[in-house]
Structure 1
Amino acid sequence: MKVREIVELFEKSIHELGKMADSLNDGYATFVLNKHINYSNVCESKCPICAYHSDNGFTKSVDEVVREALEAVKLGVKELHIVGSHNPELGVEYFEEIFRKISEKSDAVIKALTATEVYYYSKKEKMSVREFLSRLKEAGLKMLPGGGAEILAERVRRIISPRKASAERWLKVMKIAHSLGIKSNATMLFGHVESYRDIAIHLYRLRKLQEKTNGFVSFIPLLYHPENTKLGGEKASAVKILKTIAVSRIVLDDFKGIKAYWVMLGEDLATLALNYGANDVDGTVLGEKIAHSAGAKTPRAMTVERLVKMIKRAGKIPAERDSFFNVIRCYE
């Protein structure tokens, strides 16, 4: 599928796109028991789209991160989503120690560091991305989240994240991770200054890399929240959001999951999105801070019972999954 063909999909009606996208899913919608841990908000990049970074920010110690992770595991959490910032005071040994200590006492999947964090810290440490990731894999890293992708079109990146790794570098980090056997997700932050063509370029580049590596597990369209950001702006309409999710499912039909990230969408729109191509609602998401810093008004966490009700309300069959989209339990 070419970029022009992806753009043309957005010209279809929302109802037609919904039918096309929903037909590609199997009637199930999944979630994972997960915990978000943000290790720092001290960041050199200071992107205009971000409300999370702070000049007087925090950095958690190794023991604080490990304690937070293990406390979540005791509550039944099976995936630890550990991301933060581009902190000039941190390096590979900090992350190695965290991952090793968690792995020694837990079987939870460590899904940590966005591709832009990987690029930043490997460059800071004067080592290759391959060496950096190999060391972290040995320490217990199992998967990369999809963050830092924003929009994989340089025209947009120059506006929204000018000091972050380029689109090419983000893709290269993912390609290297996949070659090392480290699976990943992919995200896209939309609803700011991008056009449908920019979104099409983003999806096209992800599809092309997936055809080469088959290393992506799921795709998460992240809705931009303008509150408290330097960039500002207005939130995208529900129609644009649902069209974007539907087109994502159609284009990325070789990704196991398309997430309706309730933290940014809200429960009602996330539920509706399950009929417009999404087949996953992410999870319990204990401890999320980044989206809420930008103005998300959703709960700070979600119970399994509430997730199951959301999914049933959409007419889908709820199922708990692991990080790699293997179903663990159905709630029929």
Structure 2
Amino acid sequence: MRLDFDTARALYHHADLHALAHAAHQVRLSKHPEPNVTYVVDRNINYSNVCVCACRFCAYFRAPGDGDCFVLSFEEIGKKIEETIALGGTQILMQGGHHPDLPLSWYEDMLAFIKANYPIHVHAFSPPEIAHFAKISGLDTSQVIARLKAAGLDSIPGGGAEILVDAVRGKVSPNKCQAGQWLGIMEEAHAQGLRTTATMMFGHEEESDDRLRHLFALRESQDRSLSKVGGGYTAFIPWTFQPDNTNIIARPLTSLEYLRLLALSRLVLDNIDNLQVSWVTMGPKIAQAALYFGGNDFGSTMIEENVVRAAGVSFRLSRQEIDTLVLAAGFTPRQRRMNYTLIPLPCETSAVRDGAVAGLA
């Protein structure tokens, strides 16, 4: 039986933490009975830091004309991709600011350059970026998605969600798309065959009920996509706001507050299969604990990460460190792709190859 809003609120505020964790872990086991904890090897490439949004929570952006503005050349992007592939990476996550002067064709050319030269999955352009591309090009968002997909876009990250409540967005990110457009862009991407992720940044100027409204908006959005085209959101990633170097004064959330929200997310989002833990903001030890609060995925190696680092947090983990942490928590680490198919282990690859050779003998 699905949780309704009032029950979710009661659990969030009053349930015993251990009981909440147990319930979330049971849901996790029902969806993923195997002992695997997955992660993707990727790199976050911020192609530009120029942005006209001026979101109050962002310590990374630069206004047009600032001295340390940048736009990466395609050659610089290519070098970063080469380094990622050399480290066993299968994916790049690309996001940038809302640059006022780059036309849609620049992004299409960038995607075409990447696809012509590198065997890599491109997970790029959050809904606010797509809304921005539509505004500067005079196209609607469905046309923008179609053009980006044709140029080589493989999937869309869930950035820019913050809290999917317009009253909150009006305070912290008033120049970004509203909640309905964020959801609409994701559902249009699903309709065009692109998988996406969803996020929540919490602990800034929202109320606890706003966090619940965010979760229920995502659940309803996933219902709509699944009923029409299948696919939809592959994963949900909640993470805590990092207040340093931003224009928002907020009390940093505790680890227990993070774990409580994570567990509740697993109970509410019954139609999103995967729940990522956030070692980037919470650190590796809390991420280990989160694997018993509903989490089944360790996110990514984030070979490069700039936005959270600009807010004063700089945890870094290698593939080997993630493997060690997952094993120590009692699970089996497995590298995955964006769609959660597993990367074959060397022994599995050898078995397939040997079987094919035997079949030819």
Q: TM-score range by the shorter chain?
A: over 0.9
Q: Which residue of 2 aligns with 1:17?
A: 20
Q: Does 2:264 align with 1:247? A: yes
Q: Does 2:32 align with 1:53? A: no
Q: Which residue of 2 aligns with 1:268?
A: 285
User: Matched residues in 2 for 1:242 and 1:218: separation?
Assistant: 17
C-alpha displacement of 1:330: 6.4
Q: Does 2:85 align with 1:73? A: yes
C-alpha displacement of 1:329: 4.3
1:18-37 to 2 correspondences below 5 Å: 18-25=21-28, 26=33, 27-37=35-45
- Select between 189-198 and 67-76 the one with higher mean Cα deviation: 67-76
Q: Which residue of 1 aligns with 2:353?
A: none
Distance 1:330 1:222, change over 3 A: farther
CA contact (8 A) 1:318 1:330 kept: no
User: Matched residues in 1 for 2:182 and 2:320: separation?
Assistant: 36
Unaligned regions of 5+ residues in structure 1, if any? none
C-alpha displacement of 1:3: 2.3
Q: Does 2:340 align with 1:325? A: yes
CA contact (8 A) 1:80 1:110 kept: yes
Q: Which residue of 2 aligns with 1:298?
A: 315
CA contact (8 A) 1:49 1:232 kept: no
1:121-140 to 2 correspondences below 5 Å: 121-140=133-152
User: Matched residues in 2 for 1:71 and 1:128: separation?
Assistant: 35
Q: Identity across aligned pairs (percent)?
A: 31
Higher percent of residues as helix? 2
Which of 1 and 2 has greater Rg? 2
Q: Which residue of 2 aligns with 1:62?
A: 74
Q: Does 2:224 align with 1:221? A: no
User: Matched residues in 2 for 1:98 and 1:39: separation?
Assistant: 10
User: Matched residues in 2 for 1:226 and 1:280: separation?
Assistant: 25
Deviations 1:16-64 (A, max 9, x none): 1100111122332111111110011111011011111123222212332
Unaligned regions of 5+ residues in structure 2, if any? 227-231, 347-361
For 2:95, the aligned partner's letter is V
* RMSD, matched Cα: 1.6
User: Matched residues in 1 for 2:9 and 2:171: separation?
Assistant: 22
Q: Which residue of 1 aligns with 2:8?
A: 6
User: Matched residues in 2 for 1:72 and 1:47: separation?
Assistant: 30
For 2:161, the aligned partner's letter is A
For 2:212, the aligned partner's letter is A
- Select between 89-98 and 283-292 the one with higher mean Cα deviation: 89-98
Q: Which residue of 2 aligns with 1:286?
A: 303
Q: Does 2:124 align with 1:95? A: no
- Select between 19-28 and 267-276 the one with higher mean Cα deviation: 19-28
User: Matched residues in 1 for 2:126 and 2:38: separation?
Assistant: 23
Q: Which residue of 1 aligns with 2:358?
A: none
C-alpha displacement of 1:109: 0.9
Alignment length, in residue pairs? 330
User: Matched residues in 2 for 1:95 and 1:112: separation?
Assistant: 10
Deviations 1:143-182 (A, max 9, x none): 0000000000112111111111100110111011111001
CA contact (8 A) 1:48 1:231 kept: yes
Return the TM-score normalized by structure 1.
Answer: 0.96
CA contact (8 A) 1:227 1:295 kept: yes
Q: Does 2:39 align with 1:40? A: no
Distance 1:256 1:330, change over 3 A: farther
For 1:170, the aligned partner's letter is W
CA contact (8 A) 1:220 1:258 kept: yes
CA contact (8 A) 2:203 2:250 kept: no
C-alpha displacement of 1:106: 2.3
Return the TM-score normalized by structure 2.
Answer: 0.88
Residue 327 of structure 1 aligns to a residue whose secondary structure is: coil
- Select between 62-71 and 312-321 the one with higher mean Cα deviation: 62-71
For 1:174, the aligned partner's letter is M
User: Matched residues in 2 for 1:75 and 1:139: separation?
Assistant: 26
Q: Which residue of 2 aligns with 1:158?
A: 170
For 1:73, the aligned partner's letter is I
